[in-house]
A and B are shown apart, each in its own frame.
Chain A
């Protein structure tokens, strides 16, 4: 199994380079450039030329790519053209915020989702089930940014329980995390319920009852444990979705983070920042999927042997 892990880890390297090329090409396909943002409209051609040369934007694209990527892998992510700071500083400043939001959301999605899923499945077709599934449906249907605004309206403006924006204290994390978390919770709840119901039909359940095990033991130790497997799979595949939600929510709640940084840089065509952030986010998704894969093979023993 460790050979499998090693092989997958090594695969990440070529993936990284491919993505960097894609990201670079896409960014540079965007019309306009950072010089426009720096100088503003009505700038003189000569001033433009000076700046363009200074930032190396006149070199052929492949050369620009090579310069960028070689510096990147040695830790130098370039300078933000707009902010005039090293990009690595900006990224490392913002990562903790996004990380916190991501983890908090993931936690909420997981615990809420699984709880609702198990309860709905166990109380199948009763009123509890319907309520649970309606909540889950709402989680999937409600657009994240709208939910964020509404929550902000109710809990920050009207009730004053939580701050409207910013960062620093745990209170600022609550509303954004719930906003992103609910969407994931809805999805997980539905999948958990479906998975558990399918598990109930499995033949090994009969033997569990025949052994005289308690209902609780059967549901928690066996049904749920088996039902978890598809949930983990879906989770790994949907990590990108959750991360995407985090990006928009940072804007809504004016929270610092990679998403916020990316969007601002995108408006201003700040290439180095956009490239680095996109690369980071994409690799985060891929690494997340990779970790989920490993957890999955740990959860399902049948999968482990495929990789001997």
Chain B
């Protein structure tokens, strides 16, 4: 029984009398204790998907439709007050850039405690104790000292751990991490990703990891959903997808990764650009860049077809 079930999720924006749907038909599932990687280039709609799950599309003027179920409870129909009790308590969000995600005028310890006290009835002392506890578990050195510091006094890696602490301190059922390592050094990246994996396993929570880094996905994720131009084009267990990618886009992505020992020559890339939400091509959205494009691709949108290895792929080849 899955922890998170997303079915036919779409988000619509209206601007200047125009309606655009940057993401549509997005479906995937995630179990407790599992790491699901949502992969795609910039503009594929991964962050928007995360915001939709969190119920935050209204912030930028969008409207979500479809179904998002957490533990069998439908989230999209909840009122904003009800959603407030879920956000931060049952679903935690780790934003992309730790440098700018913390309020500069409050001490970091207080920021960890803030969410905790909002979602529970524990007193100040106990809250501080729990905050220090999680800081220790995240291997933040000298937690008591860091607790009273301000964000600008901490390094990027430390800030990211604080942001993770904020996410974990309320013992959520699920974590969404939006490109958690993009803004960090490579060495720090590895540490943080390991931290994630450890905590997820230790607490049995589900982690929705948004990233464009296939290397990270290979290391940490159990399942992967590949997104392109607002649609999920391939979805399945990581090993299966990586060993036998079915969708041309996934194949092209994997081919782009330079491998040690490969022949010298030009790097492989996918020609063209990701279309913007206002200009999604008709039919299959990838057809303009696809190496195996057929005439059917220009007219009809492919449906997700489940293969024999359990992977789902949305392509007319199958």
Contact = CB atoms under 8 A, between A and B. Distances in A.
In the complex they form, whether A and B have CB atoms below 8 Å apart is answered with yes
A209 B152 contact: no
A47 interface: no
A3 interface: no
A166 B115 CA distance: 55
Contacts of A203: 95, 97, 100-101
Given A209-B87, A213-B114, A204 B102 contact: yes
Given A212-B115, A222-B103, A207 B166 contact: yes
B216 to A, nearest CB: 21
> For A214, A299, A301, which residue has the most chain B Cβ atoms within 10 angstroms?
A301
A128 B244 CA distance: 59
Contacts of B260: none
Interface string B155-179: 0000000010010000000000000
B115 A211 contact: yes
A212 to B, nearest CB: 3
Contact of A210 (B56, B97, B119, B152): B56
B230 to A, nearest CB: 21
B152 A212 contact: no
A202 B100 contact: yes
B108 to A, nearest CB: 11
Nearest to B54: A210
Contact of B152 (A211, A222, A225, A305): A305
B211 interface: no
Contacts of B115: 211-213
A281 to B, nearest CB: 34
A212 B95 contact: no
Given A204-B102, A212-B118, A213-B115, A305 B93 contact: no
Contacts of B87: 209-212
A202 to B, nearest CB: 7
B84 A212 contact: yes
Contacts of B24: none
Interface residues of A, number: 22
Contacts of A217: 118
A88 to B, nearest CB: 43
B59 A207 contact: no
Interface in A176-211: 202-204, 206-211
Given A212-B87, A305-B152, A204 B101 contact: yes
B104 interface: yes
Nearest to B85: A212
B173 to A, nearest CB: 14
A281 B115 CA distance: 48
Nearest to A212: B88
B87 to A, nearest CB: 4
Interface string A293-308: 0000001111001000
23 contacts: A202-B100, A203-B95, A203-B100, A203-B101, A204-B102, A207-B93, A207-B101, A207-B163, A209-B87, A210-B54, A210-B93, A210-B95, A212-B84, A212-B86, A212-B88, A214-B118, A222-B103, A225-B106, A226-B105, A299-B105, A301-B105, A301-B150, A305-B152
Given A301-B105, A302-B152, 14 more contacts: A203-B101, A204-B100, A206-B56, A206-B101, A210-B54, A212-B86, A212-B115, A213-B88, A213-B114, A213-B118, A217-B118, A226-B104, A229-B105, A302-B104
